[in-house]
Structure 1
Amino acid sequence: MTNIAIFGANGRMGKVLCEAALISTGTELAAAYVRDQHDLIGSQVQHFINQGKTDIAFSTEMVIADDVDVAIDFTLPEGMLAHLDFAVANNIPMVIGTTGLSEAQMQRLFEAAKHIPIVFARNFSVGVNLLLDLVQTAATKFGDDADIEIFEAHHRHKIDAPSGTALAIGEAIAEAKGWDHDQVAVYDRSQSEQAKSQKEIGYSVLRAGDIVGEHTAYFALMGERLELTHKASSRMTFARGAVRAAKWVQNKHPGFYSMREVLELGK
């Protein structure tokens, strides 16, 4: 049995993560953490979720329950880093889905992974991680003949753009092509007066309504076009993947892991 703690348990994603920990085989919800002094501290989690049954109450982030095996964090970067330090101090493995991290913040993850096992992914959907493999195959087989574009759509509340998943797709393509992603990524063509180069990856972003997540990689040639698309209709897709990663990482050695290892992709 894997006992899971959820940071940011009162958020949209946090509540779904609580549900996933409760309904998944071989896991239990051990703690549901919210910010210190939050109004929900002491309230029963059961009253705020749609699936699963639990007697756990929301509690402060600064008190790790004795039976926590793994902590999951999908909060904002600043909060996640504080949780990370706390997890290192208490020797608790982490599953991290926070996006919009800077280079310096990513370095903090790498340093922490010397002390605890960490699974980090910009998207924990099994389908999206399979998509990352597929776009690398397409990028390799098409050679330099295809124009490459990435489109992504999310709900109106999402802050980072392009999304972390869109960037992960672009980085996977760049890796397969032997390109430096930062040199070929194009986020804005409004000031460009040049035709598109075939050695670039263009990004387009939509923010609207309650779209959970949609990502498409386009490989366009003269006369044909390949579109590889993943659409998520529920946050539970990501939550189940994160819980799967939590079960996997429970007894691993310190290190920085991805969903490729969890799903045994590329073997």
Structure 2
Amino acid sequence: MARIGIIGSEGRMGHALARAIEAAGHDNAGGVDQGGNAANLAEASDVLVDFSVPAALEGNLHAAIGAGRPILVGTTGLEERHHAAIDSAALAIPVLQTGNTSLGVTLLAHLVREAAAKLGPEWDIEIVEMHHRMKVDAPSGTALLLGEAAAAGRGIALTDNAERGRDGVTGARAQGAIGFASLRGGTVAGDHSVILAGEHERLTLSHVAEDRSIFAAGAVRGAAWLIGRGAGRYSMPQVLGL
């Protein structure tokens, strides 16, 4: 049984995490939200799970480092400076950062990487995602995760090959580009499709999240897996042994 502390406990994911911790037979060590004391929570926990906001990340990492506790970071909308902070924290403690904690999405990313590697750059890759109307960042963290998987399969950098927000006369599609389209509306928990379009044929790899409980369950599994690991930066594929 692990004592799991929730950062961002009052959000929708925070409530889902509390239920998932109980369902998995672990101990909810408590939670903090905006203005709360993450350092005290870290001391009371075996591992922290952070689904708060990017602005709070550095403080949460410092709290985990101070207590010598591993932390799973599921917060999306991260920028380069946040990833630099995670890299720094991973020198002292185990950190698992991911844009999606779903086990199904983790496997999907693995399949996307394999498909991109096998099919080659002559197959165009487009990533389409849809989320609820309240989501504030686009593309979603999951879409970017899938884009990174596709880029890794091709041995290229996503930052140099992504096409986002097409509008107007954009010209012909560049070979090897990885395109993104973001849809928002309703109460959609998360739909993602990776389309690989070749000459006269298409391959579509998709995942549909019917309830955010799947993300909570995956996060709890990942958090429990982190306990006892050495300092370093980890990922969900490692949790599944991929």
Deviations along 1:88-135, one digit per CA (max 9) or x if unpaired, are: 111111011011111111100110111111111110100001011111
* C-alpha displacement of 1:67: 4.1
Give the Cα separation in 1 of the matches to 2:64 and 2:7: 11
Q: Which moved more, 1:63-72 or 1:221-230?
A: 63-72
2:64 is matched with which residue: 65, 70, 87?
A: 87
Q: Which residue number corresponds to residue 41 of structure 1?
A: none
Which residue number corresponds to residue 119 of structure 1?
Answer: 96
* Residue of structure 1 in register with 2:200 after alignment: 223
Give, as a single letter, the amino acid of the residue that structure 2 aligns with 1:30.
A
* Structure that is richer in helix per residue: 2
Q: Are 2:209 and 1:210 aligned? A: no
Letter in 2 for 1:33: V
1:159 aligns with 2:106: no
Q: Is the 8 A contact 2:31 2:41 kept in 1?
A: no
Query: For residue 107 of structure 2, what is the amino acid of its counterpart?
Result: L
Unaligned runs of 5+ in 2: none
Where 1:64 maps in the other structure, the secondary structure is: helix
Which string of whole-angstrom CA distances, capped at 9 and with x for unpartnered residues, describes residues 12-37 of structure 1? 11110111111113x1111122233x
Aligned length: 242
The answer for unaligned runs of 5 or more in structure 1 is 37-58
Range 221-230 or range 27-36, more displaced: 27-36
Summarize the alignment of residues 170-185 of structure 1 with structure 2, pairs less than 5 Å apart: 170-185=147-162
Matched, 1:105 2:115: no
When the two structures are superposed, what TM-score results if normalisation uses the length of structure 2?
0.95
- Work out which of the two has the higher radius of gyration on C-alpha atoms and give 1 or 2: 1
Letter matched to residue 132 of structure 1: A
- Partners of 1:103 and 1:193 lie apart in 2 by 27
1:34 maps to amino acid: D
Q: Which residue of 2 aligns with 1:31?
A: 30
SS in 1 for 2:29: strand
Instruction: Give the Cα–Cα distance (whole angstroms) in 2 for the partners of residues 164 and 238 of structure 1.
Output: 13
Give, as a single letter, the amino acid of the residue that structure 2 aligns with 1:14: G
Q: Supply the distance in 1 between the matched residues of 2:129 and 2:235 (Cα, whole angstroms).
A: 22
Partner in structure 2 of residue 44 of structure 1 = none
Offset at residue 145 of structure 1 (A): 2.6
* Alpha-carbon RMSD: 1.4
Return the letter of the residue paired with 1:217.
V
Segments of 4+ moved more than 6 angstroms: none
Identity rate, percent? 40
Superposed, 1:51-66 pairs within 5 Å as 60-64=37-41, 66=43
Displacement after TM superposition at 1:220 (Å): 1.0
2-structure distance, mates of 1:60, 1:85: 12
1:10 corresponds to 2:10: yes
Provide the rounded CA distance (Å) in 1 between the counterparts of 2:41 and 2:141: 29
Helix, strand or coil for the counterpart of 1:215?
strand
8 Å CA contact 2:42–2:69 kept in 1: the answer is no
Q: Where does 1:224-263 land on structure 2 (aligned, <5 Å)?
A: 224-263=201-240
Tell me the SS of whatever aligns to 2:40: coil
2:139–2:180: 8 Å Cα contact kept in structure 1? yes
Give the CA deviation at 1:154: 0.6
Find the residue that maps to 1:29 and give its secondary structure: strand
Once residues 257 and 130 of structure 1 are traced to their aligned partners in structure 2, the CA distance between those partners, rounded to angstroms, is: 16
Q: Quick check: 2:195–2:204 contact (8 Å CA) kept in 1? A: yes
Q: How much has 1:66 moved relative to structure 2?
A: 5.0
Query: Aligned-pair distance for 1:193?
Result: 3.6
Give the whole-Å Cα distance in 2 for the aligned partners of 1:65 and 1:129: 27
Q: Which of 24, 47, 51 is the matching residue for 1:70?
A: 47
Following the alignment from structure 1 to structure 2, what is the Cα–Cα distance between the partners of residues 75 and 67? 19
Instruction: Give yes or no for contact 1:148–1:201 (8 Å, CA) kept in 2.
Output: yes
